[in-house]
Chains A and B, each alone.
Chain A
Amino acid sequence: MTLLDVQNLKVHFPLKTGGFGKPRESVKAVDGVSFTMAPGETLGLVGESGCGKSTLGRAIVRLVEPTAGSILFEGTDLAKISNKELRAHRRQLQIIFQDPFSSLNPRMTVENIIGEALDIHRLVDGKTARRRRVVELLKDVGLDASYIERYPHEFSGGQRQRIGIARALAVKPRLIICDEPVSALDVSVQAQIINLLQDLQREHGMAYLFIAHDLAVVEHISRRVMVMYLGRVVELAEAKTIIRLPQHPYTQALISAVPEVDPDSKRQRIILPGDVPSPIHPPAGCPFHPRCPVAEARCRTEVPVLREVAPNHLAACHLAGKFTEKAS
């Protein structure tokens, strides 16, 4: 059974208008992404800034409008329904943001921040029931019930992120998009939030689309991992497999670039030349070929499709399937 089935999703942002208001150029932030998610699973989504990972997450909950493609969530295509219909489905889909300082309204108390979600979806009757539920949610995320009257500025980054999680949890969603939930936190606090997210999943059984740029964090929390580059999925596989036997040269470079604490590591580092190209004019052929250490002639002209290179292991590279343990 699938919870979410995204097919050929595109999000293009128009840039310049030509004659008659028609867009001439556009940023292809998400350019034909397809994947599925099972209920209760954690799918990690990694990539560098500008690869479209956050836009993809936002498009799924329709905080940005998709340009084309479908987003089947429990059988309903979220990309095609009206805003009014969407509201009913939003209860099932929540999002946690990266910056816990800008995602909470500074003029609302914790009770109202969390309670607002309950009000909108009419989940509680009366003030006492509302307060009881907010206290329950605070306890769920490891905060003291006495914090209910406080304002966001009275909390540390980690505590604010817990409030954001409680707000998402309030409506009992089936899927939570976690958009870099620990990147803005102190190192010693990150582990607390990661553990909390795992505990809550075990208890409530929701699925996570976990967006991050830290591969080690993503490997730790996810069952499967999806790697994006310039708006496209370049590799998708089980977390353990993708780290041990990455098939796409970009994934290989990404893994080798993670700074390692172990001073005796004899790992060979792959340093990619250049920067991520512009998503307005992506390179012809494989979008990665200008930086790829193993690119061949056909990579410059033929766009590689995302294909199964091993069971449950997808990669978009002409040469994928030839890389063995040694190459990684």
Chain B
Amino acid sequence: MALLEIKHLKLDFGSGANAARAVDDVSFAIAAGETVCLVGESGCGKSVTAQSIARLVPTPPAVYAGGEILLNGRDVLRMSGKELRQIRGRVVSYIFQEPGASLNPVFRVGNQIKESLKLHQPDRATDAEVVRLLKLVGIPAPEARQRNYPFEMSGGMQQRVMIAMALASAPQLLVADEPTTALDVTIQAQILDLLRDLKQRLGMAILLITHNLGIVGDLADRVAVMYAGQIVELAPARDLLRRPLHPYTRALMNSVPKLRGNLERLSAIPGNVPRTGNFPPGCRFAPRCPVARPECSASEPGLVEVEAGRWVRCPYWNESLK
């Protein structure tokens, strides 16, 4: 049984005539110890999908319009408040993009980690355990650092504290929502290195949300690419990066300059990312797709398994590949 199984998840913002569907029929699974990447641009629904796993999206304005989120076989969408408190932290933990905004500025970081321990593992809520966690995430001089306030730390150090706090409850799944986007490249490399190391040592599953395809190759076992509320491609990471099948994935990879790329001109994707509630009819990428045909805007394509383990939401993927 998979650790997490999302089936046909549908989420609206607003209701009735004003309802805007932000997540539309998203399905994927994460096995224990596996790392899955959700890739997409702003407004594609990747963060809302990830936050739904512990039901962190406030309802209202959000309305779950259908689907299931099975965590260890139990549907999160049907859980009571008490049951939710038992999975939050213990089964699934989160780290977010801006560590500075996630930490409480008026408490020492050591106490904030201890708070998480008190909640989830009261018998281990000791200074020694806090120091062990800070050491685990690679913070030098943890005995002294646990007495720091968040403002006394750099962004990279703050993100390490956030990770330590997430690990304090020994989760089975760590959801990292753009954990390195606010950090510099050399610090980003440190944090990615840390996540890779923790994944191997602790064997927990990771759901990594990013807009950077470069990070995917570094960390992920499998990748789901999202566009306008839907998964358009789902594949093992190496296969997807070597041979992307959906026209959007391919266009996205080609539009990013590569080091030592030697390109005269970038192949840009025309137009803009569609906004939630304003998705075009039929295939949502059709208006920007370089290989679109008239049929594409007529009916919505489904996500189809075209090769073992490779799912694509484009009936013409094979022809457009030539």
Contact = CB atoms under 8 A, between A and B. Distances in A.
A294 interface: no
B141 to A, nearest CB: 12
B214 A258 contact: yes
A219 B269 contact: no
Contacts of A191: 255-257, 266-269
B300 interface: no
Given A48-B184, A186-B42, A259 B215 contact: yes
Nearest to B188: A257
B214 A259 contact: yes
B156 A219 contact: no
A237 B253 CA distance: 28
A219 B260 CA distance: 8
A192 interface: yes
A264 B238 CA distance: 8
A93 interface: no
Contact of A258 (B251, B255, B259): B259
Contact of B212 (A213, A254, A259): A259
Contacts of A276: 154, 184
Nearest to A267: B259
A215 B261 CA distance: 11
Nearest to B157: A275
Q: Which of A189, A219, A243, A264 has the most CB of B within 10 A?
A: A189
B186 interface: yes
A48 B253 contact: no
Nearest to A274: B140
Contact of A194 (B156, B212, B266, B269): B266
Interface string A243-276: 1100000000111111111111100010110011
B266 A195 contact: yes
Contacts of A188: 41, 251-252, 255, 268-269, 273, 288
Contacts of B55: none
Contact of B272 (A189, A261, A272): A189
Contacts of B217: 259-263, 265
A192 B258 CA distance: 16
Contacts of B257: 191, 194, 216-217, 219-220
A259 B272 contact: no
Nearest to B254: A191
A307 to B, nearest CB: 24
B60 interface: no
A8 interface: no
Contacts of A26: none
Contacts of A194: 257, 266, 268
A297 interface: no
Interface in B241-293: 241-242, 251-253, 255-261, 263, 265-270, 272-273, 288
Given A49-B184, A191-B268, A261 B156 contact: no
14 contacts: A48-B185, A159-B272, A187-B256, A191-B257, A192-B270, A256-B189, A261-B213, A261-B216, A261-B241, A261-B253, A263-B217, A263-B237, A272-B190, A276-B184
Given A190-B256, A275-B157, A276-B184, 6 more contacts: A48-B184, A48-B186, A189-B272, A192-B270, A259-B188, A260-B258
Interface of A: 48-49, 156, 158-159, 186-192, 194-195, 198, 213, 215-217, 219-220, 243-244, 253-265, 269, 271-272, 275-276
* Minimum-distance CB pairs A-B, first 4: A259-B214, A191-B268, A48-B184, A220-B257
